Amino acid sequence: MSEKNPTPEEGSTARRSAGGDEVHATLQAGSATLEDNQAPASSETTTTSPETTASPGARAEVGNAIVEVEVQPGFSRATGVAIALGATALAIGLLSTFADIIAPVFLGVNLLIAAYPVYTVLVRVKVPRALAAIATGLTVLLVLAAGVAAIVWSGTSMVTALRGYSDQFTELYTHAIQLLGRVGFDESALLDQLKSVSPSNVLGVVKGLVSNASGATGIILVVLVAMVFMVMDLPSMKERMGITDRLHPAFSSNIETFISGIRRYWLVTTIFGIIVAALDGGVLLLLGVPLPLVWAVLSFITNYIPNVGFIIGLLPPALLALVEKGPVTALIVVLAYSVMNFVIQSIIQPKFTGDAVGITPTVSFISLLLWTAVFGPLGALIALPFTLMIKAMLLDSDPRTRWINALIAANPKTVEEPT
């Protein structure tokens, strides 16, 4: 008796399993193993057997039905890290390219944020919003003009005074090299290494920085132009923030936290800078160090530079005390500056700033180096506020990245606080 060839329908039936529950699916594209916990693409999706495979976007034939199988593609961890690093490098490059615009505008934004209470008070006493905005802008410009005048005056006075001590600095420099040579260092090698920091070179650099005001003029001009437009936007800012709060409350909350923190940072830093400058100037006056007012102004200005501002403000009066009064007076100056800086900036000031400076000292120092390299000298002034802005916009606003606060925040417990 001859065997009968099975029909296609019989062959399809023969491929069914003994239990009748599993179905052989013929795929039309690729083969990638489906995740066991893959959710159905739609209510019409039929669950396939564990052996069924499909590629992203594949179509599977189950019985007489065509089923779309959706598999979400993803990047590997290494690819994600590479993309993040590339995007970061590109962003930093763009910031550096447009530093002459971004840094002054951001400084103007910070100054306007700090002066915003003036606008609030004027509006509260029934001053028209337009006039209140103009008065706030003028306040910022007056503060900026006073700061520039203080920098120019102190820098000019410092160069004029130090020029008269050029011979003493040169003699001190020579004695220091000879002393190091007596304790075993090679004098010729030291001279080669220290050519760039010889007294004549240092004075020349300082004089050049003070006399070359073209860069500062450009910065001031950009700030002034930016301030005009920001003052025009000031009356509608409250309404804009209200709309943002309704549409994206988490982002709005982080921006408001950043604004209040930055305002408190500038206010507290200014107040304690005045206190530190007064104390430093008083100590120098009592010790008879020349130009105590100049060094007090320098101390106030460098107080805005995190981490290293104290050292920048200390070196000139300490060196002048050394050549004018001797090593004992210079040592007293160093000790007095160090003690007052530690007590005020490390113990007292943080109690008033609170979480306004919400990053660790290490992150603050790295920020100083990075933004100074990107934005130039102005980057040292805006390093901390710029880092806090990036933290508020990119990290705090996304719950998936808030864990990074545990690594960079001054208070690591903030990662556990709800947004």
Task: Identify whether 217 is part of a domain.
Answer: yes
Structure tokens, 150: 């203080």
Which amino acid appears at position 403 of this protein? Answer: W
Using CA atoms, how far apart are residues 127 and 356, in angstroms rounded to an integer? 30
Q: Are strands 58-62 and 65-69 parallel, antiparallel or unpaired?
A: antiparallel
Confidence at residue 197, expressed as pLDDT on a 0 to 100 scale: 53
Q: Is residue 45 over pLDDT 50?
A: no
Which amino acid appears at position 49 of this protein? Answer: S
- Torsion angle (degrees, nearest 10) of CA 242, 247, 248, 249: 50
Fill in the DSSP letter of residue 61: E
Beta strands in 39-92 (DSSP E): 58-62, 65-69
Predicted confidence (pLDDT) per residue in 389-411, tens digit:
888 888 776 777 777 777 777 66
Structural domain containing residue 173: 99-247
Q: Is residue 114 over pLDDT 50?
A: yes
* Least confident span in 48-57, 198-207, 322-331, 363-372: 48-57
Using CA atoms, how far apart are residues 116 and 313, in angstroms rounded to an integer? 30
Per the model's pLDDT, the better-predicted residue between 23 and 372 turns out to be 372
pLDDT bin (cut points 50, 70, 90) of residue 374 is very high
Task: Identify whether 64 is part of a domain.
Answer: no
Per the model's pLDDT, the better-predicted residue between 200 and 40 turns out to be 200
Q: Which residues 6+ apart lie within 8 Å of 327 measured at CB?
A: none
Using CA atoms, how far apart are residues 72 and 270, in angstroms rounded to an integer? 53
Task: Identify whether 212 is part of a domain.
Answer: yes
Counting every residue, how long is the chain? 419
- Phi, psi dihedral angles at 19 (to 5 degrees): -75, -15
* Edge-first strand listing for the sheet containing 58-62: 26-27, 58-62, 65-69
Q: Is residue 119 over pLDDT 80?
A: yes
Which amino acid appears at position 65 of this protein? Answer: A
Helix (H, G, I), strand (E, B) or coil at 401: coil
Task: Give the chain's end-to-end CA distance (angstroms, integer).
Answer: 81
pLDDT bin (cut points 50, 70, 90) of residue 419 is very low
Confidence at residue 107, expressed as pLDDT on a 0 to 100 scale: 92
Fill in the DSSP letter of residue 20: S
Q: Is residue 186 over pLDDT 70?
A: no
Query: Domain total for the chain?
Result: 1
Query: What share of the chain has pLDDT > 90, as a percent?
Result: 23
Predicted confidence (pLDDT) per residue in 66-105, tens digit:
555 454 555 677 887 788 888 888 999 999 999 989 999 9
- Phi, psi dihedral angles at 310 (to 5 degrees): -60, -40
> CB neighbours (10 Å) of residue 91?
11
Whole-prediction pTM value?
Answer: 0.70
Task: Identify whether 88 is part of a domain.
Answer: no
Predicted confidence (pLDDT) per residue in 223-269, tens digit:
888 888 998 988 888 888 889 888 888 888 888 888 888 888 898 88
Task: Identify whether 202 is part of a domain.
Answer: yes
Fill in the DSSP letter of residue 33: B
Closest alpha carbon to 109 in 238, 229, 276, 18: 229
Task: Identify whether 409 is part of a domain.
Answer: no
pLDDT bin (cut points 50, 70, 90) of residue 357 is low
Confidence at residue 309, expressed as pLDDT on a 0 to 100 scale: 86
Task: Identify whether 43 is part of a domain.
Answer: no
Task: Identify whether 272 is part of a domain.
Answer: no
Q: Which residues 6+ apart lie within 8 Å of 215 measured at CB?
A: 376
pLDDT bin (cut points 50, 70, 90) of residue 159 is confident
Which amino acid appears at position 90 of this protein? Answer: L
CA distances from 361 to 187, 296, 383, 419 (A): 37, 25, 13, 24
Predicted confidence (pLDDT) per residue in 291-300, tens digit:
899 999 999 9
Average pLDDT over the chain reads: 76
Confidence at residue 74, expressed as pLDDT on a 0 to 100 scale: 58
